[in-house]
Amino acid sequence: MQTKLLTFLDDRKYKRIGGLEDIELDVRVIAATNRNLERAIAQGQFREDLFYRLNVMQIVIPPLRERREDIPALCDYYLDYYNKSFAKNIERVEPDFMRELILYDWKGNVRELKNIFERCFLFSQGNVLEKHVELTPVEKTETGGHGNCYYLKDLEKGPISLEQEVLVLEKLYMNQALKISNNNLTKAAALLGTTRFSIKRKMEREE
């Protein structure tokens, strides 16, 4: 199959099954994969010449957990998509559920988000999308907070300052909300279920 695809990409011609004449086709090919093709080439599973023929322009899409700021926009898209599919009129995601979606690890990327939305749409009533799944938060036994994730400290290694850990987690939530809202304090406050004044006060405390 790889040989046939390479020949088609070079000649832009193909034969119908059982046909004798070549048919020319004017197309632009967009290929996508979630595999490491360079590793597949080294293992003899993918043709190197086909790889370079396809890899004229490469677009790398980071996993969802590395672009959490996209999650609210994707939620809006799937709200519209499943409202049409299920003939419902759900207007928004329940705020606590949205916060969990933003902090979730998303090992299954966008496909997992889509599946979660479909499941929740089936069970939600009214105009708010409710949580009908269990999401396991990002949780690792390392030290401190980092990026968009929160790393739980191992209490067996010694005591911690609970007050300090709460401040770290609070800062992570606040930074994420500000990033999603493009530093709009009112929108960030709505995401966090607090007030604009409270966020402003916390920001001044950090300075």
pLDDT tens-digit map of 163-192: 777 777 788 788 888 888 888 988 888 888
Structural class in CATH, domain 67-129: mainly alpha
CATH topology assigned to domain 140-206 = Arc Repressor Mutant, subunit A (1.10.10)
Residue 139 CA: distances (Å) to CA of 146, 151, 180: 12, 6, 22
Model pTM?
0.53
3-state secondary structure 181-192: CCCCHHHHHHHH
Stretch 137-142: mean pLDDT: 44
Given phi > 0 = left and psi -120 to 50 = alpha, else beta, which region is 45?
alpha
- The answer to whether domain 67-129 and domain 140-206 are alike in fold is no
Most confidently modeled range among 45-54, 59-68, 168-177 = 45-54
pLDDT band at 136 (very low <50, low <70, confident <90, very high): low
Rounded Cα–Cα distance for residues 135 and 2 (Å): 40
Residue 25 CA: distances (Å) to CA of 9, 11, 96: 10, 9, 51
pLDDT at 145: 40
Q: Look at residue 169 and give its three-state secondary structure.
A: helix
pLDDT at 205: 77
Please say if the pLDDT value at position 76 is more than 90: yes
Nearest to 71 by CA among 97, 89, 91: 97
Domain ranges of the chain: 2-54, 67-129, 140-206
pLDDT band at 147 (very low <50, low <70, confident <90, very high): very low
Among the residue ranges 77-81, 128-132, 157-161, 168-172, the one predicted with the least confidence is 157-161
Stretch 51-78: mean pLDDT: 89
pLDDT: is 92 or 138 the higher one?
92
